[in-house]
Amino acid sequence: MKKRNFLVTLFLSFTLILAACGTSDEGNADGDSGEEKNCEPSDDAINVAMVTDVGGVDDKSFNQSAWEGLQAYGEEYCLEEDEHYDYAQSTQDADYEPNLNRLTGQDYELVYGIGYKLTEAIEKVAGQNPDTNYALVDEVASEMDNLTSITFKEHQGSFLVGVAAALKTESNQVGFVGGVDSPLINKFEVGFEAGVKSIDPSIEVDVRYAESFDDAGKGRQIANSMYNSGVDIIYHAAGGAGNGVFSEAKDIKTNDPESYVWVIGVDRDQYDEGTVTVDGTDYNVTFTSMVKRVDIAVQDVAERMMEGDFPGGENIEYGLSDEGVSVADTNEEAYTEEIATAVSEWEQKIIDGELDIPSTHDELEEFLNNL
Amino acid sequence: MILQKLKGTWIPLVAIGFGLLAGAIIMLLFGYNPIQGYIALWNGAFENPYFTGETIRLMTPYILSGLAVAFAFRSGLLNIGVEGQVFVGWLAAVWVGTAFSLPAFIHLPLAILAAAVAGGLWGFVPGYLKAKYQVHEVIITIMMNYIALYSTNAIIRNVLTDQGERTDYIAESASLKSAWLTELMEFSNIHFGIILAIFSALFYWYFIEKTKYGFELKAVGFNRDASKYAGMSVKRSIIMSMVISGGFAGLAGAMEGLGTFGYMSLQNSFTNIGFDGIAIALLGGNTAIGVILASGLFGVLKNGALNMPTSAGVPHELVDIITALIIFFVAASYMIILFREQIISMYHKLKHKLSNISSKEGK
C-alpha cells in the first residue's frame, strides 16, 4: 500500500513538472516569434556556413569567434540563421567530411572549415564540388580555384603580449602553455619569446606543451607546476586545455587574493574567463589576450565573395596592419597605460616594417642573436 | 500472457522505443517538432547514397568493437580496454600500410593481420595478469588505454614522422577503399571493411557456438569453478578470450586506419569506438547478429544526429541528450525486465483477488 502511494505521488509530481515546463516554454516560443525583423535580406548576399572542429562552436576560442563572424555577416545583410547562414558541429575527426558535404548539399555557396584539422577533408570535398567555394582557417591548403586559405600572423600578436608580459612580470619568469607542438602553435611560442626577450633578455621563458587542445586537466597541471616554480604570467595557446590554466590561476587567487598571478588569453578576449570573486571583491586574473580576429577574417572573405572577388587558390594572411590580430586592453587595472604605450610603440614598428617577427624556432634563434 | 512469451529480443526494441519517446518529449518540452527532428535524423543517415555510405562506414568499426566486448563478456570478462586495443591496431595497420610497398593481395591482408596481432597483444597483457595473478582486468585494461593513447601519439610524433601531426597516407595497395565503391556511394568514405566486419561476426558466431574452445569459454563465463572441476583450463580460456577480444578491437582500429582515414593523426582523447562497443555488446545481447544490429543503430544515431541541428534546428546539446537517452534506456533494459516482472506479479495478484472475490460471491 505504501509503495503504491509513493508511485502515485511520483507520477503526480512528474506531471506537474511537465505541465510547468510546458507553459513556460510556450512563453518562450512566443517571445521568439515576436522578434520581427524590419528589413529585407540583401539580394546579392550569399549563403554561408561553417564546420567546426572537435572544439565545438562554444569553445570560447576560434570556433566561436568564426561563428560570431558569420552572425555579424548575417546581421549586416539581414539574413536568417539556419536559412542563409548556419554551422555544423563535429564531435570527432571523422565528422568533418560528412559535415562539409552536408552543408554543400544544402546549397550553401561558401563553406568554411575552421581549424587545420579539416585540411584533408576540405581539400577532398572542394575537389569534388567545383561549384561551391570553400575557405580553410588556420592552415594553407593546396591551390584550388574554389578554395581559399585564411591564416593569421599570430607571431606578431604574440610578440606584443610578450612585450607586455616582460613589462609586467615581477619574478622575471614567464610561462607559455601550448596545445600541440606543431608549426602553428610554434608561431605563438616563438613570437611570445621574442617579445619577452626584446624587453629584457634575462627573463626566463618556460615553454611547455599540453599535447592536447581539450584536456583542461593537463593545462591545469602544467599551470600549477609553473606557478609553483615562480612563474607569474602564463600565456596559453591551448584552446580548451588553456581553460585549465585559468582555473588554476583563479584558484590561487581565491586562496590568496594578494598573490601575483596572471594569464594571457588567446584567440578571443578572454577577460570574462578570468573573473574571480573573493569575499565580495572582484578580481580578474586575465592580464590581456592575444586576439585573433577570426570573425573579421570570416566576414571579410564572405564579403569579398559577394563582390565577386573570391580569393580562390590564395592564402590571405591577416596581421596587425589589417586588425587580424590585436592585443586586448579590457583589464585596465592590470594592463596599465604605461604598458599600453610601450606595446603600441612596438606595434607601430612592426606595421612600419622596421621589425620582422620570427615565426619558427630557427628564425627565433637568429632574432635572439641579433638582439 | 504475451509478455511472458516474448523474451530477450523484445527488450532492446522496447528500450529503443522508450528512448525515442523520451527524446520526443524532450524536444517537445523545448519547443521543437519531434517529428521533424526524427525525419532529420533518418535523412541524415539515409537521405542519399553518400549518407548511407557514411552510416555504413561509421557502423563498421562499431561491429568489431562490439564483438570484442561481447567476446570477453561471454567468458565473464569485462574488456574496458577495447579503446586502447583500437589505437594499437590502428597504428599497426597504418605502420604496415606506409612502411612497405607490396602487391595488394599481400599488403592488405598483412596490414589487417598486423592490426589484429597488435590488438591481441594488447589484450594478452591483462588476460595474462588476470589468469596468473588474479589482477582485475577492468583496472588493467583502463590503464592500458592510457598507455596506448600516449604511446601511439609518441610513436606518430617521433618514429613515423618528424614531429608531425599525422602519418603519411597508406599505400594504395593497403587501402580498403575502392574507386568503384566510392563512386557508387557518391564519394562517401565507405570501404570494404564492412565485409570484413561481417565475416568477423560470422567467425564469432562459429567460434562461440560451434567449437570446443567456444564452449569452454562460455562454461568459464558461467562458472569458473565448475569448469575447472570439469577439467577445463580456466587460465587458458581467460587468456585466449582476451587475446581474441583484443584482436577484434585491433581490427576495428584497422578499419579507421586502412579505410576511413588512410592515416593516423595525433589523438587528443579517446575515440569512443571502444566505449561505445560496450553499449553495443549489451544492446546486442552478446550475440553476433545482435551486435551487427546494434552497430547499425549506433551508426544511424551518430550519423543522423549530425543532421538534426542543420535541417531541423534542434541544438546539438539536445541531440546529444536524445541519443544518450536512447542508449540509456537500452542499457537500462534490466529495469524493463524488472518492470515486466512487476506487471506480471501484479496481474497474478489481481487475478488471485478477483478469483477470491468471485469464489466468495459464489458461496
Q: What is the CATH number of the domain that holds A181?
A: 3.40.50.2300
Minimal CA separation from B233 to chain A, in Å: 42
Q: What's the domain count of chain B?
A: 1
Asked if A177 and A300 sit in the same domain, the reply is no
> Is the Cβ pair A106, B316 closer than 8 Å?
no
Pick from A26, A95, A211: which is nearest to B306 by CB? A95
In this prediction, residue A10 has a pLDDT band, given cuts at 50, 70 and 90, of low
**What's the mean per-residue pLDDT of chain B?**
88
Minimal CA separation from A99 to chain B, in Å: 7
Whether B316 has its CB under 8 Å from any CB of chain A: the answer is yes
Whether B85 has its CB under 8 Å from any CB of chain A: the answer is no
Considering chain B, what percentage of its residues have pLDDT values greater than 70? 96
Q: Which amino acid would we find at residue A201?
A: P
> Is the Cβ pair B272, A106 closer than 8 Å?
no
In this prediction, residue A22 has a pLDDT band, given cuts at 50, 70 and 90, of very low
Q: Render pLDDT for B39-88 as a digit per residue (tens, 0 to 9).
A: 999 998 998 888 999 999 999 999 999 999 999 999 899 999 999 999 99
Asked if A243 and A347 sit in the same domain, the reply is yes
Is residue B320 one of the residues assigned to a domain?
Answer: no
Asked if A53 and A92 sit in the same domain, the reply is yes
Q: What are the φ/ψ torsions at residue B232 (nearest 5 degrees)?
A: -90, 150
Considering chain B, what percentage of its residues have pLDDT values greater than 90? 53
Asked if A244 and A270 sit in the same domain, the reply is yes
Is residue B217 one of the residues assigned to a domain?
Answer: yes
- The residue range of the domain holding B199 is 72-285
> Is the Cβ pair B268, A213 closer than 8 Å?
yes
> Is the Cβ pair B31, A93 closer than 8 Å?
no
> Is the Cβ pair A215, B31 closer than 8 Å?
no
Q: Helix or strand or coil: residue B135?
A: coil
Is the full-model pTM beyond 0.90? no
Is residue A40 one of the residues assigned to a domain?
Answer: no
* CA atoms within 13 Å, Cβ hemisphere of A259: 23
Pick from B44, B265, B310: which is nearest to A93 by CB? B265
Asked if A195 and A342 sit in the same domain, the reply is yes
Minimal CA separation from A117 to chain B, in Å: 9
Q: Residue B260: its chain A contacts at CB < 8 A?
A: 94
Instruction: Look at B345 and A363; give whichever has higher pLDDT.
Output: A363
Is residue B155 one of the residues assigned to a domain?
Answer: yes
> Is the Cβ pair B309, A182 closer than 8 Å?
no
Is residue B49 one of the residues assigned to a domain?
Answer: no
State the pLDDT at residue A33: 40
Asked which of A6-15, A148-157, A178-187, B128-137 is least confident by mean pLDDT, the reply is A6-15
Is residue A89 one of the residues assigned to a domain?
Answer: yes
Is residue B234 one of the residues assigned to a domain?
Answer: yes
Task: Single out the residue of B83, B91, B94, B92 nearest to residue B61, CA to CA.
Answer: B83
Residue A20 has pLDDT above 60, yes or no: no
Pick from A26, A28, A128: which is nearest to B187 by CB? A128
Pick from A25, A26, A97: which is nearest to B189 by CB? A97
Asked if A227 and A187 sit in the same domain, the reply is yes
Is residue B235 one of the residues assigned to a domain?
Answer: yes
State the pLDDT at residue B8: 61
Is residue A353 one of the residues assigned to a domain?
Answer: yes
Q: Residue B44: its chain A contacts at CB < 8 A?
A: 102
Minimal CA separation from A174 to chain B, in Å: 25
Asked if A78 and A145 sit in the same domain, the reply is yes
Instruction: Look at A26 and B304; give whichever has higher pLDDT.
Output: B304
- The residue range of the domain holding A231 is 154-291+336-369
> Is the Cβ pair B313, A106 closer than 8 Å?
no
Mean pLDDT to the nearest integer, B347-361: 82
Whether B44 has its CB under 8 Å from any CB of chain A: the answer is yes
Asked if A181 and A60 sit in the same domain, the reply is no
Residue in A closest to B264 by C-alpha = A93
Q: What are the φ/ψ torsions at residue A259 (nearest 5 degrees)?
A: -65, 150
Asked if A106 and A175 sit in the same domain, the reply is no
Q: What's the domain count of chain A?
A: 2
Residue A69 has pLDDT above 60, yes or no: yes
Q: Render pLDDT for B84-119 as a digit per residue (tens, 0 to 9).
A: 999 999 999 999 999 988 898 999 999 999 999 999
State the pLDDT at residue A222: 96
Q: Residue B321: its chain A contacts at CB < 8 A?
A: none
Residue B2 has pLDDT above 70, yes or no: no
Residue A21 has pLDDT above 50, yes or no: no
- Predicted ipTM? 0.78
State the pLDDT at residue B81: 94
Q: Show the 3-state SS of chain A.
A: CHHHHHHHHHHHHHHHHHHHHHHHHHHHHHHHHCCCCCCCCCCCCCCEEEECCCCCCCCCCHHHHHHHHHHHHHHHCCCCECCCEEEECCCCHHHHHHHHHHHHHCCCCEEEEECHHHHHHHHHHHHHCCCCEEEEECCCCCCECCEEEEEECHHHHHHHHHHHHHHHCCCCEEEEEECCCCHHHHHHHHHHHHHHHHHCCCCEEEEEECCCCCCHHHHHHHHHHHHHCCCCEEEEECHHHHHHHHHHHHHHHHHCCCCCCEEEEEECCCHHHHEEEECCEEEECEEEEEEECHHHHHHHHHHHHHCCCCCCCCEEEECCCCCCEEECCCCCCCCCHHHHHHHHHHHHHHHCCCCCCCCCHHHHHHHHHCC
Is residue A119 one of the residues assigned to a domain?
Answer: yes
Minimal CA separation from B310 to chain A, in Å: 7
State how far the Cα of A330 lies from the Cα of A311, in Å rounded to an integer: 34
Is residue A2 one of the residues assigned to a domain?
Answer: no
Asked if A117 and A62 sit in the same domain, the reply is yes
Q: Render pLDDT for B109-158 as a digit per residue (tens, 0 to 9).
A: 999 999 999 999 999 999 999 999 999 999 999 999 999 999 999 999 89
**What's the mean per-residue pLDDT of chain A?**
87
State how far the Cα of B130 lies from the Cα of B127, in Å rounded to an integer: 5
In this prediction, residue A239 has a pLDDT band, given cuts at 50, 70 and 90, of confident
> Is the Cβ pair B268, A95 closer than 8 Å?
no
In this prediction, residue A38 has a pLDDT band, given cuts at 50, 70 and 90, of low
> Is the Cβ pair A99, B306 closer than 8 Å?
yes
Is residue A39 one of the residues assigned to a domain?
Answer: no
> Is the Cβ pair B268, A215 closer than 8 Å?
yes
Residue B332 has pLDDT above 70, yes or no: yes
> Is the Cβ pair A215, B261 closer than 8 Å?
no
Residue in A closest to B319 by C-alpha = A89
Is residue B126 one of the residues assigned to a domain?
Answer: yes
Asked if A231 and A356 sit in the same domain, the reply is yes
State how far the Cα of A187 lies from the Cα of B195, in Å rounded to an integer: 45
Pick from B266, B268, B306: which is nearest to A98 by CB? B306
In this prediction, residue B317 has a pLDDT band, given cuts at 50, 70 and 90, of confident
Q: Which amino acid would we find at residue A301?
A: V
Asked if A263 and A299 sit in the same domain, the reply is no
